[in-house]
């Protein structure tokens, strides 16, 4: 069945894509996303056909005298214009204005934000699901599915700096560490810091959450640095790839960072250091590029979230003159992007512009202009294990249950916890979240 595509511009409709393809080669690949995504189908011939069918006089009048044929054609022109305008208006209405030039900066209505909050809220804190060995800190979960299992990339800090590890699970609640995929390496720009985050995930809300490939490779972005310590400045963003994201072996890294504070086009909000990033594949190329990165940077007085774009995952250019999320003080960071129909949703954490550290969200129709939620937090400190910080979100929906993975800091150190939309495993850990 052909249907209007929510994230397309006017005069495009969509059809089911038979099999997902590698984003670089176009070859069919076995990805962990259901083959129900949609690819653009041009409609110029469809519009012409519809207009011609709606004006039978033009067909029937072909043999009439010239002056009558002229009048018929004038009437048909008027009908054609009306039909085309109606089709474009219907498509715009279904698109919700997304990707339209006129939608730039469009504010997401309050009622839409409230519906999204109801979709993503997770009032049941299940508890701690992953800890580091010998009291080491773990941080920054990013969760994906490959074949019949779930996997998590997470960061480990045991005193020197960040490394990236892989864990697996059958049920999203019980996790088994597998090993390191971004360990320390001597003599490189990222010798002492390598904190990785998955890229090119199926970002549909309630989707398959598998990873896409580009150029036959699975990709991640990571925060790297040469200096030891906890998030010691300066940090930059690097890229790495593998042919199997479930194997606990070191990934292949590009030789140099793709974004750093030392580049000529670095903006003020990232002039000190760069932090966590999330890269999506935007099939509609809303901003003119297939790959879009959101990341937080630190400037002289606060952290904000900005954007960069790429055509090949290797060369990145900054997008816009400043950040897209800026709360004026404190920290706005660790974005994760999902898609709910025509609305893009960014989960991110805030700290110190309201009390403590917490997770919240923002929404957009065009990826570049964001409306921030000002209602109740999605997660905030409330339990002994997250009494200091409850932040750094990764949120998915699976089998009608929302799982909100986050970094919790409390009486068990820095650990990874999860909250859910429904009570699980006989637990009713419902907690009251304040405004």
The strand pair at 343-351 and 218-225 is best described as unpaired
Whole-angstrom Cα distance, residue 346 to residue 334?
10
The mean pLDDT of 199-228, rounded to a whole number, is 98
- Both tokens of 272, joined, read 């000190």
pLDDT at 50 over 80: no
37-51, 58-72, 194-208, 333-347: lowest mean pLDDT where?
Answer: 37-51
Instruction: Check: CB of residue 234 under 8 Å from CB of residue 224.
Output: no
The strand pair at 124-130 and 162-169 is best described as unpaired
For domain 110-420, give its CATH number from 2.40.50.100, 3.40.50.300, 3.40.1190.20, 2.115.10.20: 2.115.10.20
261 phi and psi, to 5 degrees? -70, -20
Whole-angstrom Cα distance, residue 410 to residue 349?
17
DSSP secondary structure letters along 15-48: EE-SS-B-TTT--B---SS-S--EEEEE-HHHHH
Return the domain boundaries, the chain. Answer: 12-103, 110-420
pLDDT, mean over the chain: 83
pLDDT at 146 over 90: yes
Q: In terms of Cα–Cα distance, which of 306, 373, 361 is closest to 336?
A: 361
Whole-angstrom Cα distance, residue 420 to residue 127?
10
Summarised one tens digit per residue, pLDDT across range 399-430 is 999 999 999 999 999 999 999 999 986 554 44
Question: Residue 50, class by beta-carbon neighbours within 10 Å (0-12 exposed, 13-18 middle, 19+ buried)?
Answer: middle
Summarised one tens digit per residue, pLDDT across range 88-145 is 444 443 333 333 333 456 899 999 999 999 999 999 999 999 999 999 999 999 999 9
The mean pLDDT of 142-169, rounded to a whole number, is 97
78 phi and psi, to 5 degrees? -65, -40
Q: How far is CA 236 from CA 194, 195, 258, in A?
A: 10, 11, 8
DSSP secondary structure letters along 48-78: HHHHHHT-HHHHHTTTS-HHHHHHHHHHHHH
Instruction: Check: CB of residue 296 under 8 Å from CB of residue 335.
Output: yes
Coil, strand or helix at 378: coil
Q: C-alpha angle with apex 284: 280 to 289, nearest 5 degrees?
A: 60
Global pTM reads: 0.78
Work out the percent of the chain whose per-residue pLDDT is above 90: 73
pLDDT of residue 369: 97
pLDDT at 170 over 90: yes
Neighbour count for residue 300 (Cβ, 10 Å): 8
Please report which confidence band the pLDDT of residue 48 belongs to, taking 50, 70 and 90 as the band edges: very low
**137-146, strands of its sheet edge to edge:** 137-146, 149-157, 162-169, 175-182
Q: How many DSSP H helices and E strands does the chain contain?
A: 4, 22
Residues 6+ apart with CB under 8 A from 69: 61, 62
Q: In terms of Cα–Cα distance, which of 131, 124, 25, 175 is closest to 427?
A: 124
pLDDT at 240 over 70: yes
pLDDT of residue 25: 56
Coil, strand or helix at 90: helix
pLDDT of residue 427: 52
423 phi and psi, to 5 degrees? -70, 135
The mean pLDDT of 173-202, rounded to a whole number, is 98
67 phi and psi, to 5 degrees? -65, -35
The mean pLDDT of 299-324, rounded to a whole number, is 97
């Amino acid at each position: 069945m052909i249907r209007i595509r929510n994230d397309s511009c006017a005069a495009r409709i969509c059809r089911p894509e038979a099999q997902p393809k590698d984003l670089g080669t176009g070859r069919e690949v076995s990805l962990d996303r259901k083959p129900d995504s949609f690819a653009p189908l041009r409609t110029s011939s469809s519009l012409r056909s519809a207009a011609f069918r709606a004006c039978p006089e033009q067909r029937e009048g072909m043999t009439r005298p010239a002056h009558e044929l002229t009048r018929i054609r004038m009437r048909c022109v008027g009908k054609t214009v009306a039909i085309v305008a109606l089709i474009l208006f219907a498509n715009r209405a279904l698109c919700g204005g997304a990707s339209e030039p006129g939608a730039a900066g469009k504010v997401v209505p309050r009622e839409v934000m409230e519906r999204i909050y109801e979709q993503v809220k997770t009032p049941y804190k299940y508890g701690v699901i992953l800890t580091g060995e010998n009291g080491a800190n773990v941080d920054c979960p990013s969760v994906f599915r490959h074949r019949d299992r779930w996997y998590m990339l997470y960061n480990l800090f045991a005193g020197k700096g960040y490394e990236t590890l892989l864990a697996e699970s059958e049920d999203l609640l019980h996790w088994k560490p597998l090993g390191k995929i971004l360990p320390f390496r001597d003599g490189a720009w990222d010798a002492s810091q390598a904190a990785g985050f998955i890229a090119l995930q199926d970002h549909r809300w309630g989707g398959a959450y598998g990873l896409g490939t580009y150029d036959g490779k699975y990709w991640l972005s990571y925060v790297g640095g040469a200096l030891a310590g906890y998030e010691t400045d300066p940090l930059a963003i690097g890229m790495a790839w593998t042919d199997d994201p479930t194997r606990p072996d070191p990934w292949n890294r590009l030789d140099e960072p793709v974004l750093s504070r030392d580049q000529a086009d670095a903006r003020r909000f990232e002039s000190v250091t760069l932090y966590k990033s999330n890269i999506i594949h935007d099939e509609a190329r809303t901003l003119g590029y297939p790959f879009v990165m959101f990341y937080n940077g630190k400037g002289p007085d606060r952290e904000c979230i900005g954007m960069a774009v790429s055509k090949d995952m290797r060369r990145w250019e900054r997008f816009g003159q400043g950040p897209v999320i800026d709360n004026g003080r404190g920290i706005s960071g660790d974005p994760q992007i999902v898609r709910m129909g025509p609305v893009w949703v960014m989960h991110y954490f805030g700290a110190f512009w309201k009390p403590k550290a917490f997770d919240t969200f923002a929404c957009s129709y065009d990826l570049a202009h964001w409306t921030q939620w000002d209602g109740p937090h999605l997660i905030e400190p409330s339990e002994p294990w997250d009494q200091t910080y409850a932040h750094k979100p990764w949120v998915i929906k699976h089998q009608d249950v929302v799982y909100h993975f986050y970094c919790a800091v409390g009486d068990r150190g820095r650990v990874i916890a999860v909250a859910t939309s429904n009570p699980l495993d006989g637990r009713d850990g419902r907690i009251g979240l304040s405004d």
